[in-house]
A and B are shown apart, each in its own frame.
Chain A
Amino acid sequence: MSQVIACYKWVADEADIRINADLSVDLSKAKGKISDYDKNVIEAAVQAAAALGGKAVGVTFGTADAKPSLKDALSRGLDEACYINAQEASQADGAATARALAAAIKKIADVGLIICAEGASDTYSRQTAPRIGALLDLPVVTSVSKMDINGNILTAARKLDDCMQTVKVELPAVVAVLPEINPAPIPGLKAVLAAGKKTVTELKAADLGADLTPRSTVSEVKGYVMNRKNIIFNEGDLAEQVKALAAALRKEGVL
């Protein structure tokens, strides 16, 4: 029996981010959510675990704020979850995140497949899967739009810029999946209720024996403001507004 790991991240909902007048970023009103693309990761792990006859285990590296993610993740069909609860997660870069996840995965027995998203909806760095592969020295397949598991062989379709590439790899392996890999269903009430009864293993930074310091230094975080004209044509009726827009486009010379 082989276990399938779904790496997921609890992120601030970007819709709730406020940019202050001085361009400082206010996350205090932002609700947490499972990174959009990680919902597809969880679903892919549930399907892969069924194919391998093993369990689907969610692994997340977050601060104390990430606790509500567990019930959400488990309601999406995972059998168990492993929660690395560490304040270091708030400062983590790609290097520290991969080290934390790799250290936690090492503690889980008989891992056949590790699934990540290409990137998280906050940072979208697209580093986690390749870095975990390197740290654990496992083969890596990224940009996966479709995968099949047959015995111990995983066949994956990779969507690259210039071609579709079909590759195969013997498990264990690490894959990064694209959101199009599955539709990630919304969990039903029964699944939500069952989630509360599932096993969660909580690890602290000290349990990992991994260096969680970032390798790059963040010197500034500020709101990005697009300089746009923000002109709304609202004089007169719709016909006049459209006329004004058409005139503006002609004047801009973009037609």
Chain B
Amino acid sequence: MAGIFIYSDKADITSEIIGFARLNGKLPVVLTLSEKDAQALRNAGADKIIVIKGQSEMIENYARAIAAVLKNEGAELFAVGATPRGRDLAARVAGYLDCAMVSDISSASYKDEQLICTRMLYGGAVQQTEKLSGLSVITVPAGKYEPVQGEASLQTLELQADTRVSVVETAPIVKEGVDLSKAEKVVCVGMALDKAEDLQIARDLANVIGAEVGCTRSIAEERHWLPAESYIGISGAVVKPKLYISMGVSGQIQHVYGIRDAGLIVAIDTNEKAPIFKAADYGIVGDLYQVVPMLTEALKK
């Protein structure tokens, strides 16, 4: 059957991609690796849910088999949730099909039987539009589409897994930091902070307004002042708080990529030419050591 085949290891994204398919009048067919995931998605508006049975617990290991299914079923699109597992699976399936793939779409819409996708390049400085025709693959970040409702039929499918990579151990990630992607307010520190103890300046402001503290990549990866989960940017956390306040952040575009969807962006930095001011709604050109304590005081009242 034609239609859009869908996989995500996150049920929320699966539901959203089903919504995308329905929005475009296409039949959504969901792949899952467990009966439990299938049951959870039973009423999410898919036409059909296929539970894959095979010899591996890793979805990525079914890439070749899934590529064959897509071909045999005449699928028009394989839409995969943009998570680490999903991106791996999607690109491997695209590799086996040697077909077009657009990663981490910003938008996707059909026009004259072509799928028109936009995505960001250069850390968000540039937007590229690509046209896909024929069986193609896309990865879709969370939060792009509205979920829908409707009951799906269930079926199971035996697939051959590639068992060359096997799981030795799975451990929950010990999150030292917080999940910034869900934070309502974020205070972000950058390289203008002189020493780790001075993080207290950021924490004081964060406490007063009820924000989480994040940082730029260098603060986490080079200086190790905050855990890796705390850094914001294209290769780190992508945040969408209603308020983001940066202090001593220059605003390299990899960082700005991570704050693009923030409601309101405030920048405090000594360098008036810093790119962060171009990305900001409000700014103060000044030393964070002076400005931030004053702001904390002002917001206490």
Which residues in A have some Cβ–Cβ distance to B below 8 Å? 12, 14-15, 17, 19, 25, 37, 93-95, 98-99, 118-119, 121-135, 139-143, 155, 158-170, 173, 176, 178-180, 214-224, 226, 228-234, 238-239, 241-243, 245-246, 248-249, 252, 254-255
Contacts and interface: CB of A to CB of B under 8 A. Distances in A.
A25 B126 contact: yes
Contacts of B136: 215-216
Contacts of B34: none
Contacts of B299: 246, 249, 255
Interface in B155-190: 162, 164-173, 185
B147 interface: no
Interface of B: 9-10, 58, 60, 63-64, 83-85, 87-96, 98-104, 116, 120-132, 136, 162, 164-173, 185, 209, 221, 228, 234-235, 242-243, 252-254, 256, 260, 263-266, 272, 277-286, 290-291, 294-295, 298-299
Give chain B's interface secondary structure class. Answer: mixed
B95 A135 contact: yes
B101 A155 contact: no
B279 A228 contact: yes
A228 B185 CA distance: 18
Give chain A's interface secondary structure class. Answer: mixed
What are the nearest 10 A-B pairs in CB distance? A134-B95, A131-B95, A130-B91, A215-B100, A216-B100, A139-B164, A246-B298, A130-B92, A220-B129, A127-B91
A163 to B, nearest CB: 5
A126 B103 contact: yes
Contact of A93 (B63, B100, B280): B100
A126 B254 contact: no
Contact of B125 (A17, A139, A233): A17
B247 to A, nearest CB: 12
B242 A254 contact: yes
Given A95-B94, A238-B294, A245 B162 contact: no
B283 A121 contact: no
A163 B90 CA distance: 20
Contact of A221 (B128, B166, B286): B128
A179 B284 contact: no
A52 to B, nearest CB: 18
Contact of B167 (A167, A173, A215): A167
B272 to A, nearest CB: 8
B92 A94 contact: no
A44 B293 CA distance: 43
Given A139-B162, A229-B281, A243-B298, A166 B95 contact: no
B96 A134 contact: yes
Nearest to B244: A254
Contacts of A228: 265, 278-281
A224 B164 contact: no
B131 A164 contact: no
Contact of A17 (B126, B171, B173, B283): B126
6 contacts: A14-B125, A123-B121, A140-B92, A168-B165, A214-B100, A221-B126
Contacts of A224: 120, 124-127
A215 B138 CA distance: 13
Nearest to B97: A134
A204 to B, nearest CB: 22
Contact of B284 (A124, A143, A216, A245): A245
